[in-house]
């Protein structure tokens, strides 16, 4: 069968009678899909597989426990032949053809008047792929498209246009009206649709590299109507958004907060209450020195649904960009994360306990003095990593006794992460007088007497 013979379409089977001939596993999968579409399914088969039997016992489909008869196609809208016997399936297909019914013949794709595509569902998007009768190829393509949608690399954002306005006054009837009337005929009721409710997602974007945002965060960003964005984080992703996605800048720099946190909270609630999908895109992780907790509480207090998507915090990822592990066998078993604006004299002493300081450049002179006096000494290694993962990343390594002068000489600036402790010695960028590549990790050499 040539590709040009196929006319892709979608069938609306809600409340319509369909016939499945066959009781095996394949028939069970097709019956389940038809039930999901709202069809009234009748199965004709001498016996049922366990999955089909479960659907029958649950009252979800009808079962005729006997061989197929030509009269079974009378009065149905769609037929699926899946007995596993070519002659029986061919007879079902011939009877359906005579009755001018579309029929899927599972035993003979080339002779089938209808094909079953490989199907996946992502939110309210249904993906259906045909590949010239090659089911494995169709499944592989379906999986690739579904993965791209789930990761946000393909658009999932809903259009907010009114379908009735687009179709015009002469268009077909509203599908929702048809759905309600059909279910009423079937003896069930469908509640009236509620106005669309907005939501807020606090998304941690990681240290700035677009490849380090989570799959969930990328997908929510692709679905957003409004993005409230910080100065840091994966800003390059903003260029991929639809032109009508509103971007609200609320970025802060040290000592300059043009949009106060209280106003940011109000923006999130206001936009969500207007029915928008709002993404609050932050650098790092929303709950690590990112005030995400305050934003989440404010949203919930105002009845706004809020989701928190963790991010790769710069406290861990940026040291890794310089080859510095925060814990390392034989060097450090724990670390403390702290803001440069906090008191450092209570941090556990000893260079075997790593200290990570965020927003610490402005207070660096005082911080190094405090840490040196608290038990680490002036020889404790220190690293400052600026613009982690960016093309202009720069690493400055010294000690508590030298790092302040080094930072001043090269004009170190935010955004930067300061790492204090012996783990700095592991960095491939450490100078020879500080470096160690194997401290505590070399296997012991066996000696024989």
Range of the domain at 343: 316-426
Tell me, yes or no, whether 308 and 386 share the same domain: no
Please check whether residues 259 and 337 belong to one and the same domain: no
CA distance 378 to 396: 16
For residue 39, the domain's CATH number is: 3.40.50.720
pLDDT band for 189, please (50, 70, 90 cuts). very low
306 and 336 in a single domain? The answer is no
CATH code, domain with 406 = 3.30.950.10
Can 282 be counted among the known catalytic residues?
no
Give the per-residue pLDDT at 181. 53
Examine the domain organization and report whether 272 and 321 are in the same domain.
no
Distances in Å between the Cα of 426 and the Cα atoms of 320, 328, 383, 435 are 11, 9, 11, 6
Q: pTM higher than 0.85 for the full model?
A: no
Q: Do 153 and 210 contact (CB within 8 A), yes or no?
A: no
Residue 39 confidence (pLDDT) above 60: yes
Write the pLDDT tens digit of every residue in 405-417.
999 999 999 899 9
Shared-domain flag, residues 298 and 321: no
User: Which residue among 312, 327, 348 closes a domain?
Assistant: 312
Co-location of 372 and 279 in the same domain: no
Q: Is 230 a catalytic residue?
A: yes
Q: Which of 187-191, 319-323, 329-333 bottoms out in mean pLDDT, i.e. has the lowest?
A: 187-191
What is the pLDDT at residue 182? Answer: 47
Position 139 in a domain: no
Catalytic-labelled residue, pool 32, 209, 252, 352: 252
Mean of pLDDT values over 61-74? 96
90 lies in some domain? yes
Same domain, 219 and 248: yes
315-318: long-range contacts, CB 8 A cutoff, minimum separation 24: 315/284, 315/288, 315/356, 315/358, 315/417, 316/356, 317/206, 317/207, 317/212, 317/388, 317/389, 318/207, 318/385, 318/388, 318/389, 318/417
Give a yes or no: residue 212 inside a domain: yes
Q: Tell me: pLDDT of 190 over 60.
A: no
* 290 & 347 share domain: no
> Does 194 fall in a domain?
no
Let me know whether 291 and 354 are in one domain.
Answer: no
In a domain, 21, yes or no: yes
Smallest Cα–Cα separation from 312: which of 219, 385, 414, 215?
Answer: 215
- In whole angstroms, how far apart are CA 97 and each of 101, 107, 382? 6, 16, 79
Asked whether residue 390 is assigned to any structural domain, the reply reads yes
Point out the catalytic residue in the list 230, 282, 285, 422.
230
Q: Of 312, 343, 373, which residue is a domain's last?
A: 312
- 266-282: average pLDDT: 95
Largest CA-CA distance found in the chain, in angstroms, rounded: 98
On whether residue 180 sits in a domain, the answer given is: no
Claim to verify: residue 255 and residue 275 sit in the same structural domain: yes
The rounded percent of the chain whose pLDDT value lies above 90 is 57
Q: What is the chain's mean pLDDT, rounded?
A: 85
Claim to verify: residue 416 and residue 331 sit in the same structural domain: yes
Q: Among 249-258, 352-361, 379-388, which is the least confidently predicted range?
A: 249-258
Across the range 20-34, mean pLDDT stands at 93
| Torsion angles phi and psi, residue 237, rounded to 5 | -70, -20
Structure tokens at 413: 């600036």
> Are 252 and 297 part of one and the same domain?
yes
In a domain, 247, yes or no: yes
Residue 257 is predicted with a pLDDT of: 67
- The whole-number pLDDT of residue 163 equals 46
Domain-terminating residue out of 295, 312, 329: 312
| Total number of domains in the chain | 3
- Report the CATH number that the domain containing residue 305 is assigned in CATH: 3.40.1010.10
| Least confident span in 107-111, 281-285, 319-323, 390-394 | 107-111
DSSP 2-71: -GGG--------TT-EEEEE--SHHHHHHHHHHHHTT-EEEEE-SS--HHHHHHHHTTSSEEE-S---GG
- pLDDT computed for residue 159 by the predictor: 66
Sign of CA dihedral 224, 229, 235, 238: positive
């Amino acid at each position: 069968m040539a590709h040009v013979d196929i006319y892709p379409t979608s069938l609306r089977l809600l409340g319509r009678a369909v016939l499945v001939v066959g009781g095996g596993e394949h028939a069970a999968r097709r019956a389940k899909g038809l039930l999901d579409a709202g069809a009234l399914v009748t199965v004709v088969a001498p016996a049922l597989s366990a999955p089909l039997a479960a659907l029958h016992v649950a009252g979800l489909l009808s079962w005729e426990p006997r061989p197929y008869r030509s009269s079974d196609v009378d009065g149905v809208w769609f037929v699926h032949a899946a007995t596993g016997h070519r002659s029986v399936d061919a007879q079902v297909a011939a009877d359906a053809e005579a009755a001018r019914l579309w029929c899927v013949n599972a035993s003979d794709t080339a002779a089938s008047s209808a094909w079953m595509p490989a199907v996946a569902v992502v939110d309210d998007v249904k993906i259906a792929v045909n590949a010239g009768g090659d089911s494995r190829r169709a499944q592989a393509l379906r999986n690739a498209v579904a993965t791209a949608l789930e990761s946000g690399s393909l658009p999932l954002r809903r259009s907010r246009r009114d379908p009735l306005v687009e179709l015009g006054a002469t268009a077909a009837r509203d599908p929702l009206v048809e759905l309600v009337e059909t279910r009423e005929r079937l003896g069930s009721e469908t509640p009236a649709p509620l106005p669309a409710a907005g939501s807020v997602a606090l998304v941690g974007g990681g240290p700035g590299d677009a490849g380090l945002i989570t799959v969930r965060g990328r997908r929510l960003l692709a679905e957003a109507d409004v993005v409230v964005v910080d100065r840091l984080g994966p800003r390059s992703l903003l260029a991929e958004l639809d032109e009508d996605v509103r971007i609200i800048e609320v970025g802060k720099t040290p000592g300059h907060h043009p949009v106060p946190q209280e106003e940011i909270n109000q923006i999130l609630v206001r936009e969500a209450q207007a029915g928008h999908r709002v993404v609050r895109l932050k650098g790092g992780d929303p709950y690590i020195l990112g005030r995400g907790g305050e934003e989440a509480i404010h949203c919930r207090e105002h009845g706004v649904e809020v989701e928190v998507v963790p991010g790769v915090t710069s406290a861990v990822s940026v040291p890794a960009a310089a080859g510095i592990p925060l814990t390392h066998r034989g060097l450090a078993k724990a670390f403390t994360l702290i803001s440069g604006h906090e008191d450092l004299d209570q941090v556990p002493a000893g260079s075997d306990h790593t200290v990570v300081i965020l927003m610490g450049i402005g207070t660096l002179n005082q911080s190094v003095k405090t840490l040196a006096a608290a038990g680490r000494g002036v020889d404790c290694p220190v690293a400052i990593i600026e613009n982690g993962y960016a093309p202009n990343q720069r690493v400055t390594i010294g000690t508590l006794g030298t790092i302040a002068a080094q930072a001043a000489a090269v004009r170190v600036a935010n955004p930067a992460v300061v790492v204090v402790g012996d783990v700095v010695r592991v960095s491939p960028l450490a100078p020879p007088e500080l470096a160690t590549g194997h401290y505590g990790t070399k296997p012991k050499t066996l000696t024989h007497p």
